[in-house]
Amino acid sequence: MRALVTGGAGFIGSHLAEALLELGWSVEVIDDLSTGGIENIVSLKDHPRFSYVLDSVRNRRLMLELVDRADMVFHLAAAVGVRLIVEQPVWTIETNIKCTEIVLELCSRKHKPVLIASTSEVYGKLNRAKFSEDDNLVLGPTSKARWCYAASKIIDEFLAKAYYAEKKLPAVVVRLFNTIGPRQSGEYGMVVPRFVQQALENQPITIYGDGSQRRSFTWVGDVVQAMITLIQQPGAYGEVFNIGHTKEISIYNLASLVKDLTLSQSEVIFVPYEEAYQPGFEDMGRRLPDISKVQKLIGYRPNLDLPEMLHRIIEYQRTRIKAAA
Ligand SMILES: NC(=O)c1ccc[n+]([C@@H]2O[C@H](COP(=O)([O-])OP(=O)(O)OC[C@H]3O[C@@H](n4cnc5c(N)ncnc54)[C@H](O)[C@@H]3O)[C@@H](O)[C@H]2O)c1
- pLDDT tens digits, 166-205: 999 999 999 999 999 999 987 776 899 999 999 999 999 9
Does residue 99 lie in a domain region? yes
Residue 123: what pLDDT?
97
Average predicted confidence (pLDDT) for the chain? 95
Longest CA pairwise span in the chain (Å): 58
**Residues of the chain above pLDDT 70, percent:** 99
Residue 84: what pLDDT?
86
Give the pLDDT mean for 208-214.
94
pLDDT in tens, 236-247: 999 999 999 999
Does residue 207 lie in a domain region? no
Q: What is the CATH number of the domain that holds 160?
A: 3.40.50.720
**Residues of the chain above pLDDT 90, percent:** 88
Does residue 171 lie in a domain region? yes
Does residue 90 lie in a domain region? yes
Q: What's the pTM value of the predicted model, to 2 decimals?
A: 0.96
Does residue 175 lie in a domain region? yes
Cα separation, 6 vs 52, whole angstroms = 10
Q: What is the DSSP string of 145-192?
A: TTHHHHHHHHHHHHHHHHHHHHH---EEEEEE--EE-TT--STTS-HH
Does residue 191 lie in a domain region? no
- Residue tagged active-site, from 52, 123, 149, 252: 149
Domain that holds residue 226: 2-183+217-246+287-305
* Ligand 1 close to Cβ of residue 23 (< 6 A): no
Give the pLDDT mean for 92-98.
97
Confidence class for position 276, pLDDT limits 50, 70, 90: confident
Respond yes or no: is residue 208 known to be catalytic: no
* Ligand 1 close to Cβ of residue 145 (< 6 A): no
Domains of the chain: total: 1
Query: Cα(267) to centroid of ligand 1, in Å?
Result: 31
* Ligand 1 close to Cβ of residue 173 (< 6 A): no
Q: Residues 281-319, buried b or exposed e (16+ Cβ, 10 A)?
A: bebeebbbbbbebbeebbebebebebeebbebbbebbee
* Ligand 1 close to Cβ of residue 9 (< 6 A): yes
Does residue 208 lie in a domain region? no
Residue 267 in this model has a pLDDT that exceeds 80: yes
